[in-house]
Amino acid sequence: MNRVYIIGIGLIGGSIALDIKSKNKQAKIFGIDTDDSHLVKALELNLIDEKASYEDLKNADLVVLAIPVDKAVIELPKVLDAISETTLVIDVGSTKNPVCKAVDNHQMRRNFLATHPIAGTEFSGPKAAVHGLFQKKTNIICEVEKTSFKLQEKALQLFSDLGMRIRYMNPEAHDKHIAYVSHLSHISSFMLGKTVIEKEKNERDIFDMAGSGFESTVRLAKSSPAMWTPIFKQNKENVIETLDEYIANLKQFKSLMESDDFDEIFNEMQSTNHIKDILNGIA
Amino acid sequence: MNRVYIIGIGLIGGSIALDIKSKNKQAKIFGIDTDDSHLVKALELNLIDEKASYEDLKNADLVVLAIPVDKAVIELPKVLDAISETTLVIDVGSTKNPVCKAVDNHQMRRNFLATHPIAGTEFSGPKAAVHGLFQKKTNIICEVEKTSFKLQEKALQLFSDLGMRIRYMNPEAHDKHIAYVSHLSHISSFMLGKTVIEKEKNERDIFDMAGSGFESTVRLAKSSPAMWTPIFKQNKENVIETLDEYIANLKQFKSLMESDDFDEIFNEMQSTNHIKDILNGIA
């Protein structure tokens, strides 16, 4: 796969470009982005070799669609219209059901593989791209059976080159589970940041008293609203369900405090400590 | 201050011991702990040189009280009963109002300095002790005017040796602000962990799909219930206030989602992104 087109040359698209370049010296990376300043930056940082447009996609071996999920459902059908029979197209969005539905009846559906690499940082844009971002991370693949066997193989080789392990899941299950382990974390972090900022008008107090605990809990509140708003919109039902459960747990914790039931508060925390063992599995 | 007694030889007490030892080769560190296995471990790890008891405190230059805050309010008066005129006693608890009140009328009040080093990890016990834990961290000192001038000086020298910067605050203000920047973070993290564990009975799903974002947001849910339950109890009013505001913000976010007001959700996140600049000030 020597002719690689990255649509959306930000944190994820740019990091994939870097890893492909370092693994395959023959690869030529073309960048497509609605934000011309991203393309300029990506050229400067050597993430891409050339700018390109949709008309060139017929020459692509691989197209990586790495744009916000609301844009992906619109652009993916156009990409599939533009490619050749042998082109593999992957997306990397954090929701999978809408993008799969958007091309379910497309005549080129077998050229597309729906993926979600569980990797990233709270930063965005081409200058956030880093080498080795995907090393030892999980890539979730949806509806694998709808992709041609030959292109599945090519995709698996790519993910193996990036150092990823693979899990297969249907798009509905993906969107439901990811709401808990990713989308809810972002909202809890954003709302924690909001609550503290609102209260601490005098920011010196935060600055002086905040420790590493606050810093790690609120880290995701630095994330890009342009990326996350459409994710919450597309995964609305699942995210609302997680919020309902999260709010109910917080209310229960508060009512335990109000009734001075600190034995039960101890128990709640102790049973949640079990998250240690689960997280030890991540690494 | 060569004769140092650490009461509670866990993460904080043990880390202070390590730093004092490496800074002052003359220092002899004595450990007092209700859990004998901690003392055995602390001797093994060279955190302390000897076990000791309250009867020995009359020989102390420095006593560090590093036990859960519910124990601290009971033990501190006994410690002050046992020391000599020249002994400095500091505590390190995450609430300051109850401990200050507990000794407000003690005849040895001037030998005590109330402090809160904003440093720690999610781990606990003597084996969690690390060198340099306090380097460049903030130490909040309360009611400094109630400590004798000579012992204030000794304490400031100690904190300077540990690499800490100092902020002065009254205990009420400390407990109110720390509820926002520390106590609430712990509850939001514990409840996030709880919500996900409850839902994901099949833990493979968490294991496979959780990324570094979830990991950092849920990190504090590994913290010690024995340490945190009494903190929440002592700071009940302030913590309930933060929970009310946090829950209200989450509910509002949810209702914006239900009414499909994603423009406003974008705005909320964008204005909270400002936390970046605040956090850049830390560290």
Sheet holding B3-7, edge to edge: B50-51, B28-32, B3-7, B62-65, B88-91, B112-117, B138-142, B165-169
HEC-encoded secondary structure of A203-216: HHHHHHHCCHHHHH
Residue A282, pLDDT score: 53
- Asked if the Cβ–Cβ distance from B278 to A228 is below 8 Å, we say no
The CATH superfamily label for domain B3-169 reads: NAD(P)-binding Rossmann-like Domain (3.40.50.720)
pLDDT tens-digit series, residues B216-267:
999 999 999 999 999 999 999 999 999 999 999 999 999 999 999 999 999 9
Residue B283, pLDDT score: 44
Fold: same for A3-169 and A174-280: no
- Asked if the Cβ–Cβ distance from B228 to A269 is below 8 Å, we say yes
pLDDT tens-digit series, residues B92-145:
999 999 999 999 999 999 999 999 999 998 889 999 999 999 999 999 999 999
- This prediction's pTM: 0.92
Q: Where are the domains of chain B?
A: 3-169, 174-281
Q: Quick check: B76 and B99 in contact, CB under 8 A?
A: yes
Q: Residues in chain A, how many?
A: 283
Question: Whose structure tokens read 């470009």?
Answer: A17
Percent of chain B predicted with pLDDT > 90: 88
- Asked if the Cβ–Cβ distance from A208 to B257 is below 8 Å, we say no
ipTM associated with this complex: 0.92
Q: Quick check: A251 and B195 in contact, CB under 8 A?
A: no
Q: Which of A189, A203, A271 lies closest to B278 in CB terms?
A: A203
Residues of chain B with C-beta less than 8 angstroms from the C-beta of A177 = 200, 205, 209
Question: Considering the domain A174-280 in this protein, what is its CATH number?
Answer: 1.10.3660.10
Least Cα distance to A14 among A94, A165, A142, A121 occurs for A121
Residue B280, pLDDT score: 73
- Asked if the Cβ–Cβ distance from A257 to B243 is below 8 Å, we say yes
- DSSP run (H or E) holding A114: strand A112-117
pLDDT band of B274, cuts 50, 70, 90:
confident
Question: Considering the domain B174-281 in this protein, what is its CATH number?
Answer: 1.10.3660.10
Q: Would you write out chain A's pLDDT as a tens digit for each of its 283 residues?
A: 899 999 999 999 999 999 999 999 999 999 999 999 999 999 999 999 999 999 999 999 999 999 999 999 999 999 999 999 999 999 999 999 999 999 999 999 999 999 999 998 888 999 999 999 999 999 999 999 999 999 999 999 999 999 999 999 999 999 999 999 999 999 999 999 999 988 877 766 666 788 888 989 999 999 999 999 999 999 999 999 999 999 999 999 999 999 999 999 999 999 999 888 877 765 4
Residue B187, pLDDT score: 97
Report the chain A residue with the minimal C-alpha distance to residue B220: A213
